[in-house]
Structure 1
């Protein structure tokens, strides 16, 4: 499955970045009971800077979708670092998507689809997941989107 996953990533022009280091006292991935629990991942642009802004104020839905996809790429990078191979991913179980947005912005699900579509394209049916998408006033480092995840893994 790794060759298939690597091929799908390459076909989309995605090279997994070095996983982001924690910005406080936590670990990026905890593995317990056949599950991987991922701490919130921020969106990093190609140049390495955090994608910042608020939906409904300084960013539109398409920009937010790209930020959510960038968070999804960091989820994959963290998984690969923790598991050694994305071949160990059995299923993406859940994504929690936090969108920095104004109080009148209501398109959080459309923004979250940036990450959801990535998981479907990379893992097929195993990428189909439960999800929440909520608006918040501010995220760490001024990030536009933050995503945490729960992933079922193989031994």
Structure 2
């Protein structure tokens, strides 16, 4: 794996600002996702809604145009994956077989639920504070993986 130096001739990828999901009905999608996770609405625009994730967001846009996703997916980071699993079960939302907690939403978008404490993804303290979250811990494995990259939490 190669990393570009700051003096390279290409722009460096730094993260993901947002993802866009196509749905048939934005209001129904907000209701669906609102049953599974707590979120704030960042805003709305004609045929669109924006779910706030602190310094990132999910854009819901009307008019799904492709077949349901089989492998393509996005990982939605949550503070309590076990709670999401229980909620999906209570709502009779089928999870997909495999080692991960994946499901397909009613519009064909494949979602993988990811536990914050278990992965390298990290929200800066000021972003967490802005989201009303005091602290989220990391597992020893996640801290070690971050430390190996010089990114250990303080």
Same fold flag (TM > 0.5) = no
Q: What TM-score does the superposition give when structure 1 sets the normalisation length?
A: 0.28
Q: What TM-score does the superposition give when structure 2 sets the normalisation length?
A: 0.28
Q: Which has the higher helix share?
A: 1
> Greater RCO between the two (CA within 8 Å, min separation 6)?
1
